[in-house]
C-alpha cells in the first residue's frame, strides 16, 4: 500500500478502496497476513462481453480494441402481429420498427441483430442511426434513460441465414441472446435477438459462495 501511495500520489484510504473494487471484480484476492495476489488477467486474444451492464455494440467493440462496422439489411415499420407479440412481448396491433443488422468486428461478420422497437418510443429513428448506435440516438438525441434489460441466453443450431452472414465455417451452432429493454418510465421499448459467432461469444461473470 505504501508503494502504491507513492506511485499514484494518493492516500492509503484511496488505495484500499481501489484494491477492494479490484477484489470485487475478481482481479485480486486479499490473503490474510500475506498481502494481495493477482488471480485473473485478461488473455490478449479474448473478446469479452458484459452480462452485468448495458453496452452498445460500439462500446463493446471499442472496449475490446476492435473496429466495429454495421450493415443494415432490413429497416421497416410493421404492425405487431400475434406471432411477433408472442416472440417479443409487445402488444398485438402496436406499431413497431423492425431492423436487421449484420455486425462486423475488424471486417469479419460476427453477429446478427434482429430488433423490434416500439415506434412511439423511439422518435424519428433513421437507418443512419441504426447503422451506428441506436442506444446513442436514444440517449443523446431523445434523452431517454435506458434502465434495464432482461436477457435469455441459449445455443441453437445455425440457420441458413446464420450460415450466409456469419462465416461460420465448421461451426454448426450460434449463441443466441434475447433481450427485452426498458426505459426509466417502465416502458419496454425494444426487443433484440442477437445471434453470435461462437468465436466471439465469451462472457465472464463472478460467482461467490
43 belongs to a structural domain: no
> According to the model, what pLDDT value does residue 153 have?
93
- As a whole number of Å, the CA-based R_g of the chain is 21
**99 lies in the same domain as 16:** no
**Burial annotation 159-182 (CB, 10 A radius, 16+ → b, else e):** eeebeebbebeeeeebbbbbbbbe
- Condensed to tens digits (0 to 9), the pLDDT of residues 94-107 reads 999 999 999 998 99
Q: Is the pLDDT of residue 53 over 90?
A: no
With respect to residue 46, please indicate whether it lies within any of the assigned structural domains: no
- Sign of the Cα torsion 43, 46, 49, 51 reads negative
- CA separation for the pair 60, 50 (Å, rounded): 8
Predicted local confidence at residue 57, as pLDDT: 83
Asked whether the predicted pLDDT for residue 184 surpasses 80, the reply is yes
Claim to verify: residue 93 and residue 149 sit in the same structural domain: yes
Query: In terms of domains, do 114 and 194 share one?
Result: yes
State the residue range of the domain holding 92.
57-200
- Write the CB contacts of 8 (distance below 8 Å, at least 6 apart in sequence): 14, 15
- Say whether both 7 and 96 belong to one domain: no
Q: In the chain, which residue ranges form alpha helices assigned H by DSSP?
A: 2-8, 12-24, 57-63, 82-88, 127-132, 134-136, 160-165
Residue-wise pLDDT for 144-168, tens only, equals 999 999 999 999 999 999 999 998 9
pLDDT of amino acid 48: 65
Whether 126 is in a domain gets the answer yes
* Same structural domain, 165 and 79: yes
What pLDDT sits at residue 99? Answer: 98
Q: Which of 12-16, 44-48, 180-184 has the lowest mean pLDDT?
A: 44-48
Structural domain total, the chain: 2
Query: What whole-number distance in Å separates Cα of residue 112 and Cα of residue 102?
Result: 5
CA-closest candidate to residue 78, choices 66, 70, 90? 90
Amino acid at each position: 500500500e505504501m508503494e502504491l501511495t507513492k506511485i499514484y500520489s494518493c492516500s492509503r484510504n484511496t488505495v484500499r478502496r481501489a484494491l477492494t473494487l479490484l477484489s470485487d471484480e475478481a482481479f485480486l484476492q486479499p490473503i490474510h497476513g500475506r498481502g494481495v495476489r493477482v488471480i485473473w488477467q485478461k488473455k490478449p486474444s479474448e473478446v469479452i462481453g458484459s452480462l452485468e451492464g448495458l453496452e452498445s455494440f460500439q462500446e463493446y467493440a471499442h472496449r475490446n480494441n476492435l473496429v466495429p462496422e454495421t450493415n443494415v439489411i432490413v429497416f421497416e415499420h410493421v404492425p405487431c402481429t400475434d406471432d411477433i407479440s408472442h416472440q417479443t412481448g409487445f402488444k398485438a396491433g402496436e406499431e413497431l420498427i423492425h431492423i436487421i443488422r449484420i455486425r462486423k468486428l475488424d471486417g469479419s461478420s460476427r453477429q446478427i441483430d434482429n430488433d423490434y422497437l416500439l415506434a412511439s418510443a423511439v422518435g424519428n429513428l433513421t437507418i443512419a442511426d441504426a447503422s451506428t448506435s441506436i442506444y446513442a440516438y436514444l440517449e443523446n438525441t431523445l434523452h431517454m434513460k435506458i434502465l434495464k434489460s432482461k436477457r435469455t441466453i441459449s445455443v441453437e443450431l445455425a440457420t441458413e441465414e446464420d450460415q450466409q452472414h456469419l462465416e461460420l465455417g465448421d461451426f454448426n451452432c450460434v449463441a443466441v441472446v434475447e433481450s427485452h429493454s426498458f426505459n426509466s418510465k417502465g416502458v419496454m421499448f425494444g426487443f433484440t435477438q442477437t445471434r453470435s459467432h461462437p468465436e466471439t461469444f465469451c462472457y465472464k461473470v463472478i460467482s461467490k459462495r
